Amino acid sequence: MTDFTTRIDAKFAELKAQGKKAFVSYVMAGDPNYETSLEVVKGLPAAGVDIIELGLPFTDPMADGPTIQLAGQRALDQGMTLETTLQMARDFRKDDDTTPIVLMGYYNPIYSRGVDKFLQDAKEAGIDGLIVVDLPPEEDDELCIPAQAAGLNFIRLATPTTDEKRLPKVLQNTSGFVYYVSITGITGAAEAQATNVGPEVEAIKAKTDLPVIVGFGINTPEKSEAIASVSDGAVVGSAIVKMIGEGKPADEVLAFVKTLADGAHRA
């Protein structure tokens, strides 16, 4: 647990006071290009998004399915880097100082930049939390603990294969929220089922006071509502990224996002 309050903590406190579940959306920074990506990101709060997950493009993703892999490749082809991803956060913060941003990606670009410099730059850019999927709890000294010392939440993923023995280790230095991965496998590969997710979320909540948000396999307003009804909120990524990859204009993407957010908020 942390002894500081981030925008993420404040957002969950606000939602709890309102009796609402959270809706979290993922987009890949720089997909299909910087300008369109920034337009989408800037429009997310008005579409009902409570927390933005900003994908950090990386050449060798492991947890991502084809949809998000291709989005990362499109962004890299446009010249996106860790620096330009942080610049997108800075540009977003010019107009919005309240919506939390979680940077989601892999450790290599952070390691290459240097942890101390990265954390200083991320904090200055307005990043509130990190999801770094290839750093297990055994490597918390690497980034997790320094990140929390710098005032950033470090959000960990729990999965259907995280057993009772492993769960306390996963939760040990997690803050902000716990991200429960509803399916085994990669993003966009299968559909989440509330009947399966509910008991797993309850098992996690028995061990932590943190909100538990569920992602992977949510692609419709109905699914968003169903999953949010058995958790503290829903995350949608691939379904949104797919529309962007199809070349849909920002306003059409944001209209779809609103239907998903409305679903979660009905739960």
Hey, which residues are catalytic here? 53, 64
Show the tokens assigned to 100.
């939390």
Show the tokens assigned to 142.
């690497």
* Contact indicator for 6, 152 with CB cutoff of 8 Å: yes
> Is the Cα torsion angle 119, 122, 128, 130 positive or negative in sign?
negative
User: Which residues does 48 contact at the CB level (< 8 Å), separation at least 6?
Assistant: 23, 257, 258, 261, 262, 265
DSSP state of 55: E
Distances (CA, A) of 28 to 32, 73, 121: 9, 10, 19
> Distance (Å, rounded) from C-alpha 170 to C-alpha 39?
35
Run of H or E residues at 215: strand 212-215
> Distance (Å, rounded) from C-alpha 7 to C-alpha 89?
14
- Tokens 């977003």 belong to 92
* Contact indicator for 45, 258 with CB cutoff of 8 Å: no
